[in-house]
Amino acid sequence: MRLLSFVFALLCLGAPVRAESGYDLWLRYTPVEAQYRAQYATTWLLAPGDSPTLRVAVQELNRGLAGMLGSAPPTENRAAMDGTLLVGTPASLPALDRLNLPLKELGAQGYLIRNVTYGGHKALVIAANSDIGVLYGVFAYLRRVQMRQPMTDLVSAPKTQLRILNHWDNLDGTVERGYAGQSIFNWHVLPGYVSPRITDYARANASIGINGMVPNNVNARADSLSPEYIEKTKALADALRPYGIRVYLSVRWSAPIEISHLKTADPLDPAVKAWWAAKIAEIYKSIPDFGGFLVKANSEGQPGPQDYHRNHADGANMIADLLRPHGGVVMWRAFVYANDPKIDRANTAVNEFAPLDGQFRDNVVLQIKNGPLDFQPREPFSPLFATMPKTSLMMEFQITKEYLGQQTHLAYLGPLFEEVLKSDTYEHGPGSTVAKIIDGSMDHHAISGMAGVANIGNDADWSGSVFNQANWYVFGRMAWDPEMSARAVATEWTRQTFTADPAFVAPVVDMMMSSRETVVNYMTPLGLELIMAHSHHMGPGPWDMIGPREDWKAPYYHRADETGIGFDRTITGSDNAGQYKGAAKAAFEDVTKTPEEYLLYFHHVSWDYKTRSGRTLWNELIARYQRGVEDVAGMQQVWAAQKPYVDVERFDKTASFLAIQHREAIWWRDACLAYFAQFSKRPFPGGYQPKYPLEYYEKMPMFASPQP
Ligand code: GCW
């Protein structure tokens, strides 16, 4: 025992030496330093109950406390004494009854942590109304120990119902828009073998409150609904269930044709309806708590009800009616754009969905991307959020950084999520924030929720880089509470993922907080959109003209010509501003009131347009691109100073990635400015010149960047 304590003391002394692959994410449970230990003194653990969820809650507590305090507290029955930790629900731990706890406030999934007197002694309670609430409470407790924070009283309940990861994982193991290796779902070996990684995935998700997942790509194959795949999915569901995570499936609308050779997939056809009824019954027989379906229909070539002259509500309602008796929901995606060059792509979702408001069943929820276009580094919020009060609406964020530098660039998405959630839609006057719409409180929606397109893969560190893990983390935390601050979450994550030492936390959190703006500056400043390279979206491509559709070409979005640059979405243009409400509409309509970060999104302005800095538009564009590059150099400096606090593995990988980011920020700046200069026909100020001629950038091979 003494030897153990000695080893433990040594571990505490030697700060960041242990090599870390990043596999442990934010659940590292490293030894608590001496100065913080007293506040977590736990003499014994009273946590009876034997449900699978309570069992994993106690396991996690033991694992966490053994790691952080050197030993797990004993659980054999003891007389009351100071430092008792009581964990459970009123059902599992009747002793809670006497403690007068405000359990009503917690709802079905919330928890509380409270300092109480138990049998005349000081004790700490982690309690909830349900087993899953207890598990969330345990993770909150461990989070605080990891952060070295005092164990003050706390009450927390999720503000949204559905907190769901969408995996765009294909059945062959590839991941659409995935930058962290192959899929973690190995369909080949399922159901015979469920990797322990799936349990670690479940732990990580439960630790941040995620309660649902869709394992297959929205560009779905019908195979996922075959009996063989239902058996595989059941094995996954069984492994995730103790952690409170329900499984949903993406479905392909034409599955009845592809699997059972029906002649049609028309939602109003009785044979089609019967097919879905049988399929749904078959799924629930294997997976009684199956969550429901996620549908991408009539979008980017996917089949859907419109193929049969039916609308989205016809399709969604048909399957919703069949799912209802089983308690399932339909998450119907609103990501659609018309194949008509005369219609602004940004207008399409409102055009197609707003007329259907009030027609969807109450177990249908529309899943709306945060912006009207497509997960850009910055877009205004989707006007659809303000347009469908009678329909449940949920958010779809992209955690994987398809358009924000993919694996390597450091971009913490907390500020992006926060900016969208705080945006005022003016749906019912000022204060109608997107957060209040998707948490259901504004319009009393039956279903509330947030989906995040996962950035998870088989890489050792799960997300391709250590800092990408923060985006998974912040998604979960903001799904739980859409009003949480991005900075608070970054601070939590940093303290758990690296160290609670303020000398490290302060500069690293600052760096994270400005990182997304930095990416905006060197990629798409001032409201530019979709000027990424064709199809893979890595690197610049403002010249991209490949493809059969106008709205797949970059010039459609930036509209640079000799008179100026930007997309006129005001009343004189596509009238997209007209889809907004109140002060948002007024601001977007008027170039002098539009926030400058959306300038070129809503307006086509001349190269000499005077921006708020006093510079001309052309010079401001250059200044922003420059600033983006300089700020990456600043991030490199901040990180270099953190070497003493971080293990070699994670330090070096991050440093190398920042060097790649710097090189590619220069590429973005030079390629875009070389391209736009041919329209602006204005000189570069201050002796700046892109290093290479435009043709060099245009011919860049895939996955290469300019030689420095
Ligand atoms: O952003 C685009 C992506 C596609 C994706 C699509 C969607 C799954 O480039 O890869 O397809 O959005 O959200 O459906």
Task: Using the atom order of ligand 1, give the atom closest to the CA of residue 219.
Answer: 8
247: nearest Cα among 237, 238, 256: 237
Residue 109: helix, strand or coil by DSSP?
Answer: coil
**Domain for residue 554, yes or no?**
yes
Task: Give the mean model confidence (pLDDT) for residues 510-532.
Answer: 98
Please determine, for residue 12, whether its predicted confidence score (pLDDT) is greater than 50: no
**Residue 647: per-residue pLDDT:** 96
Q: Whose CA is nearest to atom 11 of ligand 1?
A: 219
- Residue 606, SS3? strand
Per-residue confidence (pLDDT) for residue 18, from 0 to 100 = 67
Q: How far is CA 630 from the centre of its chain?
A: 28
Q: Examine the fold and report which residue of 137, 156, 175 is the final residue of a domain before the chain moves on.
A: 156
Q: What is the pLDDT of residue 16?
A: 45
Domain boundary among 465, 497, 529: 497
**Within-domain flag for 596:** no
**Residue 402 annotated as catalytic:** yes
Tell which atom from ligand 1 comes closest to the C-alpha of 299: 14
46-71 pLDDT tens trace:
999 999 999 999 999 999 999 999 99
Q: 371-412: per-residue pLDDT in tens?
A: 999 999 999 999 999 999 999 999 999 999 999 999 999 999
Q: Are residues 491 and 543 in the same domain?
A: no
Q: What is the pLDDT of residues 494-508, one digit of tens each?
A: 999 999 999 999 999
Using most ligand atoms within 8 A of CB, pick from 169, 221, 402 the residue to mutate for ligand 1: 402
Ligand 1 atom nearest residue 453's Cα:
13
Determine the residue of 170, 294, 335 to mutate for testing ligand 1's pocket, defined as the one with the most ligand atoms within 8 A of the Cβ atom. Answer: 335
Do 276 and 418 lie in one domain? The reply is yes
Is the pLDDT at 207 greater than 90? The verdict is: yes
Six token digits for residue 62 = 């033991």
- Annotate 374-441 with DSSP letters as a single string: SS-SS-PPPGGGGT-TTSEEEEEEE-S-TTTTTTTS----HHHHHHHHH-B--BTBTT-BHHHHHTST
- Same domain (yes/no): 179, 127: no
Tell me if 581 sits within 8 A of 425, measured CB to CB. Answer: yes
The answer to whether residue 511 sits within a structural domain is no
- Angle between the 227-240 and 196-207 helix axes, to the nearest 10 degrees? 60
Q: Which of 216, 253, 300, 333 to mutate to test the pocket of ligand 1 (most atoms within 8 A of CB)?
A: 300
For residue 168, give the ligand 1 atom closest to its CA. Answer: 8
Å from CA of 361 to ligand 1 middle:
26
Whether the pLDDT of residue 15 is over 60: the answer is no
The yes-or-no verdict on residue 552 having pLDDT over 70 is yes
Per annotation, catalytic residue among 344, 374, 439, 492: 374
182 C-alpha vs ligand 1 centroid, how far in Å?
18
Whether residue 57 is contained in a domain is answered as: yes
How far, in Å, from the CA of 374 to the mean position of ligand 1? 8
18 falls within a domain = no
CATH number of the domain bearing residue 231: 3.20.20.80
Distance between CA atoms of residues 242 and 130, nearest Å: 12
Tell whether 78 is covered by a domain.
Answer: yes
Q: What is the pLDDT of residue 2?
A: 47
Mutate to test the pocket of ligand 1, among 253, 296, 374 (most ligand atoms within 8 A of CB): 374
Residue nearest to atom 7 of ligand 1 (CA): 335
Instruction: Please say which residue of 125, 156, 187 terminates a domain.
Output: 156
- Closest atom of ligand 1 relative to the 403 alpha carbon: 1
Query: Which one of 166, 167, 168, 369 would you pick to mutate in the ligand 1 pocket, going by the greatest count of ligand atoms within 8 A of its CB?
Result: 168
**CATH number where 689 lies:** 3.90.1330.10
Q: Which of 97, 300, 340, 483 is catalytic?
A: 300
Of ligand 1's atoms, which has the minimum distance to the CA of residue 374? Answer: 1
Find out whether the peptide bond into 191 is cis, omega within 30 degrees of 0. Answer: yes
Which residue minimizes the CA distance to atom 13 of ligand 1?
Answer: 335
pLDDT at 578: 98
Whether residues 248 and 147 fall in one domain: no
Residue 31 DSSP label? P
Q: Return the pLDDT at 84.
A: 93
What is the CA(332)–ligand 1 centre distance, in A? 15
What's the domain range around 118?
30-156
Q: What are phi and psi of 457, to 5 degrees?
A: -150, -170
Residues with Cβ within 8 Å of 350's Cβ and at least 6 positions away in sequence, in order, are 383, 384, 387, 579
Closest CA to 133 of 104, 99, 164, 153: 104
Q: Are residues 170 and 146 in the same domain?
A: no
Q: For residue 394, how far is its CA from the centre of ligand 1 (angstroms)?
A: 17
487: in domain: yes
Ligand 1 atom nearest the C-alpha of 375 is 1
Taking the C-alpha atoms of residue 453 and residue 397, their distance in angstroms, rounded to an integer, is 6
139 and 195 fall within a common domain: no
User: Using CA positions, which residue lies closest to atom 12 of ligand 1?
Assistant: 374
294 CA to middle of ligand 1, Å?
Answer: 14
357 catalytically annotated: no
Q: Are 588 and 635 in contact (CB under 8 A)?
A: no
Residues 189 and 305 reside in one and the same domain: yes
Query: For residue 487, what are the CA distances in angstroms to 282, 483, 520, 637?
Result: 45, 12, 18, 21
Mean pLDDT of 146-168: 98
Comparing CA positions, the residue from 158, 120, 148, 680 lying closest to residue 449 is 158
Same domain, 191 and 135: no
Count of structural domains, the chain? 3
- Is 620 considered catalytic here? no
- Give CA–CA dist 143/272, Å, rounded: 49
Q: What is the pLDDT of residue 341?
A: 75
Give residue 6's pLDDT band: very low, low, confident or very high (50, 70, 90): very low
For residues 145 and 176, membership in a common domain is answered with no
Ligand 1 centroid from CA 443, angstroms: 29
Give how far Cα 541 sits from Cα of 119, 398, 579, Å. 69, 21, 29
Identify whether residues 220 and 361 lie together within a single domain. Answer: yes
Average pLDDT, the chain: 96
- The pLDDT of 223-235, averaged and rounded, is 98
CATH number of the domain that 63 lies in?
3.30.379.10
**73 or 320: which leads in pLDDT:** 320
Q: How many A from CA of 405 to the centre of ligand 1?
A: 16
Give, using CA atoms, the residue closest to atom 2 of ligand 1.
Answer: 374
CB distance 220 to 296 below 8 Å: yes
Look at the alpha carbons of 162, 168, 173, 179 in this order and tell me if their dihedral is positive or negative: negative
Is the domain of 333 the same as that of 210? yes
* Per-residue confidence band for 10, with pLDDT thresholds at 50, 70 and 90: very low
For residues 651-681, one letter each, b for 16 or more C-beta atoms within 10 angstroms of the residue's C-beta and e for the rest, the string is bebbeebbeebbbbbbbbbbbbbbbbbebbe
pLDDT digits (tens, 9 = 90+) for 210-226: 999 999 999 999 999 99
Counting from 1 in the atom list of ligand 1, the atom nearest the Cα of 218 is: 8
Residues comprising the chain, all counted: 708
Structure tokens at 273: 């309806």
Q: Are residues 492 and 383 in the same domain?
A: yes
For ligand 1, which residues put their CB under 6 angstroms from it?
A: 168, 176-177, 218-219, 296, 300, 335, 374-375, 402
Mean pLDDT of 342-370: 97
* Distance of CA 217 from the midpoint of ligand 1 (Å): 10
Catalytic residue among 344, 402, 418, 461: 402
Does 167 fall in a domain?
yes
Distance 295 CA to ligand 1 centre (A): 13
Tell me how far the alpha carbon of residue 696 lies from the centroid of ligand 1, in angstroms: 29
What pLDDT, in 10s, does the model give residues 280-289?
999 999 999 9
